[in-house]
Structure 1
Amino acid sequence: MAVYMNVDLLTRHSFTSFFLFSMGVSLWLICSGGFRRRLVIDHDKGEYRFYVHTHLRHRGPLNQIFIRIIAQKSGRRSLMYRIVLDGYKIDSHTLCGFSEKYKLLECQGRTIASNLKLNYFDYVDTSKRHCVIHRPIRANRGTI
């Protein structure tokens, strides 16, 4: 706004469309991103519910949400890790920032997952460090 006020009167009109466009985009971003997202974990019913504002977006069993460690390469070619709450049809939520301390984050991730009674997955797809509490329910198939 200060830059806009210091511009000469003749060139001020050329900035009017840019100013109005940027105000419109910023208001749209505030309104669209301002809706509160809420994840409700109900262990009694064995399900979770994901709300955006007050609208139910998805309901599913507890085996569809999990705590996971994600690894990403840094510029120094070392791996950086972070803990994420993720699942089916919910927004991914970062629980901590990047760190190089894998053992500490693994311990914290397992603790969070055990306190919330959720599945825990390591950053490697096939690992002995996974902790699976909830498994998918299979439909009973009739015998032939």
Structure 2
Amino acid sequence: MDGQTQMEAYLDKTMHENNIGQEKTINGMMKSIKVGCSYEEKSISLGFPVLEWQANRAGMMHGGAICIAFDMTAAAIARFCAGKNYAPTISLDVKYIRPIKLGDTLIVTAKATAAGRRITQIVCEAVSKDTGKLAATAATVYMNVDTTKENR
């Protein structure tokens, strides 16, 4: 099986885990949608419909919900890069650019820029599906924890 096929199968499994296996957790409540992936670019894209429960007082997607969307998408590529290892988030730095309205879909693309033995660095962009405009960016770092040597 080539790398792209492996990544697509991994992403299908991740989507099932998020939306079915974790339906009562924040991951399941986000209702993520598979947009695509690229093994060559080390990237994964997910869509997040902007739901009423995610709204801030201005009626836009709350910054915390945007942060969750970044973390879920970046974690997916971090876990793919980590293989069998556990990959917890070390840092997540978000820059908000423009609001996302209820009823829109936030499209998040996460790209691994460095995937080493212990650390995976990822950059992310989030755009409005309706307008195509950039809504936010993020830089994230994940640790690759060897589960054969360390207890989580």
Report if TM-score (shorter chain) is over 0.5: no
Report TM bin, short chain: under 0.3
State the structure with bigger RCO (CA 8 A, min sep 6), 1 or 2: 2
Whichever structure has more strand as a proportion of its residues is: 2
Larger Rg: 1
